[in-house]
A and B are shown apart, each in its own frame.
Chain A
Amino acid sequence: GAVVSQHPSWVICKSGTSVKIECRSLDFQATTMFWYRQFPKQSLMLMATSNEGSKATYEQGVEKDKFLINHASLTLSTLTVTSAHPEDSSFYICSAKWGSGMNTEAFFGQGTRLTVV
């Protein structure tokens, strides 16, 4: 299957600082990328959907000014957690699809474990 690389795999940051997470599709062009967060033993909660070259669509309850998403190219999307707080500690994971339709499988990055101290 296609490869999606997510970096970093884990990060520890101080409260109040910002953290950027990168999601790259290595061997295909990702028209659509999704960002999820997952708390321990819970499901993946969709945060936002981003299409290359356009603004991300955020799910209800997700602060767009806090979780900045940039999908500047067909192979790269970034999620920046601004002014991070301990409650932002979570597992963040991206996925990417190619094509404009929804009948294609999603390929997932390895995830990023964020700990805010």
Chain B
Amino acid sequence: GQQVMQIPQYQHVQEGEDFTTYCNSSTTLSNIQWYKQRPGGHPVFLIQLVKSGEVKKQKRLTFQFGEAKKNSSLHITATQTTDVGTYFCAGTGNQFYFGTGTSLTVIP
């Protein structure tokens, strides 16, 4: 089946530092979505990228979709404690698969 891998699996940062998670698919994706899951909660939609090379920003978050539509990244500038959680990409080809996730811990 479709493989969507994310790296790193875990990331600990000091508050104020930047954070990036990378998402790689074994196949070309129709689009990619990013979700955030707080501990004990359910995934919450953040954004969707559709076009090759697309870049979108949400305040301190920058999302990028690769030219080949097989990879994506999420970058958080100047992390805050509220950014804590697991970030998942979800790739859409024929189905809707989640990446392996990156768990972010922000140290105050």
| A→B interface (CB under 8 Å) | 1, 34, 36, 41-46, 49, 57, 59-60, 93, 95, 97, 102-103, 105-111
Task: List, in ascending order, chain A residues with CB within 8 A of B103's CB.
Answer: 41
- New contact pairs (20) apart from A1-B45, A103-B50, A105-B45, CB-CB < 8 Å: A36-B98, A42-B100, A43-B98, A43-B99, A43-B101, A44-B88, A46-B96, A49-B96, A95-B43, A95-B96, A102-B92, A103-B30, A103-B92, A105-B33, A105-B48, A106-B90, A107-B45, A108-B42, A108-B43, A109-B42
Interface residues of chain B: helix, strand, loop or mixed (majority): strand
Q: What is the CA–CA distance of A108 and B100 in the complex, to the nearest angstrom?
A: 17
B108 within 8 A of A: no
A43 touches B33 (CB 8 A): no
Closest chain-A Cβ to B66's Cβ sits at a distance in Å of: 18
Task: List, in ascending order, chain A residues with CB within 8 A of B33's CB.
Answer: 105-106
Nearest to A103 among chain B residues (CB) is B31
Nearest to A45 among chain B residues (CB) is B98
| B→A interface (CB under 8 Å) | 1, 30-31, 33, 42-45, 48, 50, 88, 90, 92, 95-101, 103
23 intermolecular pairs with C-beta atoms under 8 Å apart: A34-B96, A41-B103, A42-B100, A43-B88, A43-B98, A43-B101, A44-B43, A44-B88, A45-B98, A46-B95, A46-B98, A59-B1, A59-B95, A93-B42, A102-B30, A102-B31, A103-B30, A103-B31, A103-B48, A103-B92, A105-B48, A110-B42, A111-B42
